[in-house]
Amino acid sequence: MNENMNSYMPVRLFTGEGCIQKNKKEFARLGKKGLIVTGRSSARKCGALKDVTEALEDQGIGFVLFEEIGQNPLLTDCVRAARKAVEEGCDFIIGIGGGSPMDAAKCISVLAANPGMTEEELYLLNWPEKPLPVAVVGTTAGTGSEVTKVAVITVPGGRKKSFHHDLIFPAAAFGDPSYTMSLPEDFTLSTAIDTVAHATESFFSRKANDISKCYAVQSLKSVLPVLERVTDPENRSDISPEERTKLYHGSIYGGLAINITGTCLPHTMGYLLTEKHGIPHGNACAIFLPEWLRILEEQMPGRLSYPDYFYYSIQCERERFFGIIGRALKDVHVTISEQEIAREHSRWIGNRSIANSLAEITPEMCDEILRKI
């Protein structure tokens, strides 16, 4: 048994249908006026924005809206939102949406508390003032950002960069699976496969421990049966409400897992496909899972090896697991030139997430993975 059971998760997490209304007093813990950060339409369509604003009004809490966060949130937009928070006298931030608005809310909380902060100061974690409190409301089933201390932001130049800090853990997170019910199926599959990447990468992280592996296994046991059914051409039908609830719960377990361990190679290399090829985040990460797992298997051979233990734990044989990933990504295509591979080579040198894998992976191996996909 691994004696390391270290864990820290200070988020107040509320789940279930109607959890915002049932726990609306939590907003009063955060402040008197909130900046609500969302995308351009999804929070309205699913009803989450209405539920939040009604809860705030019931508590006599003021709010202003910033509905301009796109996919892969831009640092420039976070700066604009932070400026608005300061101008409007907001003392806490609410992020409503998938990973993009939730990560943006974390970033904005830092910038609003530290006006004029530079990108370098943000990423060096050089924050003179403590970030504003953050509440998040998840409306997709994939990122698990509700329970992590991570914000992934696209900086000028188009590069996705993350920062981690205990001070950006959400003070409160609301997880109502009903908000995911109207999501298009292709988007749902992309976010679900992101959960698979989170849980799998966490399991094979150098930082994995008994607690993180429990979260990772439960995440995959929640998500894989749903993915397997909906990607089976002979058993095709709409994703049921019960299945969407399982996907959402799986995403939270995945977030709890990577909160302990961080991610590994698939996420790091996946950023490249999102930045340069426009492939949705979940698909971009998961496309690297098979090759990465093959490397792990090569470096840990034997019937009682760690990879075998993984497939046994998640109750999904290796061939089934690879098949589910393959079917989920069957419509994802990417072409990468040798010139691009050479241009990105330095990106993999000394990368902490790649080094987080149990396998020893060199930059040259990353180049070869790009060729194979």
Helix or strand or coil: residue 301?
coil
373 — pLDDT class (breaks 50, 70, 90)? confident
User: Tokens in use for 127?
Assistant: 């924050």
Task: Tell the residue number behind the tokens 């792990």, with chain if given.
Answer: 296
Residue 105 binned pLDDT confidence (cut-offs 50, 70, 90): very high
pLDDT at 304 over 50: no
Lookup: tokens for 310: 């993984």
Nearest Cα to Cα of residue 252 among 135, 174, 309: 174
Q: Which residues contact 183 (CB under 8 A, 6 or more apart)?
A: 46, 140, 191, 244
Q: pTM of the prediction? A: 0.95
Per-residue pLDDT, averaged over 18-25, amounts to 97
Query: How sure is the predictor about 303, in pLDDT bands with cuts at 50, 70 and 90?
Result: very low
* 195 vs 322: CA distance, rounded Å: 15
Residue 173 and residue 148: Cα distance in Å, rounded?
Answer: 10
305 in Cβ contact with 297 (< 8 Å)? yes
Task: Say yes or no to pLDDT of 151 above 70.
Answer: yes
How much is the average pLDDT of 290-294? 95
Cα torsion for 197, 119, 65, 152, to the nearest 10°? 0
Task: Quote the pLDDT of residue 302.
Answer: 59
pLDDT for the residue 300: 83
pLDDT at 306 over 80: no
Q: What is the pLDDT of residue 42?
A: 87
pLDDT at 243 over 70: yes
pLDDT in tens, 255-279: 999 999 999 999 999 999 999 999 9
* 326 token code pair: 């393959």
Average pLDDT, stretch 321-325? 97
> Is pLDDT of 20 > 60?
yes
**Taking each helix axis from N to C terminus, what angle separates 318-328 and 185-203, rounded to the nearest 10 degrees?**
140
Listed as own residue / partner, the contacts of 116-125 with beta carbons closer than 8 Å and 24 or more positions apart are: 119/75, 119/155, 119/156, 122/75, 122/163, 123/161, 123/163, 125/163, 125/165
Confidence of residue 2 (pLDDT cuts 50, 70, 90): low
Alpha carbons 185 and 175: distance in angstroms, whole number: 20
Q: Is the pLDDT of residue 350 over 90?
A: yes
For residue 307, name the pLDDT band (cuts at 50, 70, 90). confident
Beta-bridge mates of residue 95: 37, 136
Mean pLDDT, the chain, whole residue set: 95
Token pair of 122 as six digits = 């943000």
Q: CA torsion sign, 324 to 329 to 331 to 333?
A: negative
Q: Is the pLDDT of residue 288 over 70?
A: yes
Tokens 């996909």, located at residue: 373
Q: CB-side exposure of 40: number of CA atoms within 13 Å?
A: 5
Residue for token pair 């107040």 = 12
Q: What is the pLDDT of residues 176-207, one digit of tens each?
A: 999 999 899 999 999 999 999 999 999 999 99
pLDDT digits (tens, 9 = 90+) for 32-68: 999 999 998 889 999 999 999 999 999 999 999 999 9
Containing H/E element for 309?
helix 306-313
Whether the pLDDT of residue 112 is over 80: the answer is: yes
Q: Is the pLDDT of residue 285 over 90?
A: yes
Nearby residues of 329 by Cβ (< 8 Å), 6 or more positions away: 193, 283, 286, 287
Please give the C-alpha separations between residue 48 and each of 19, 53, 205, 246, 279, in angstroms, as whole numbers.
11, 9, 34, 19, 27
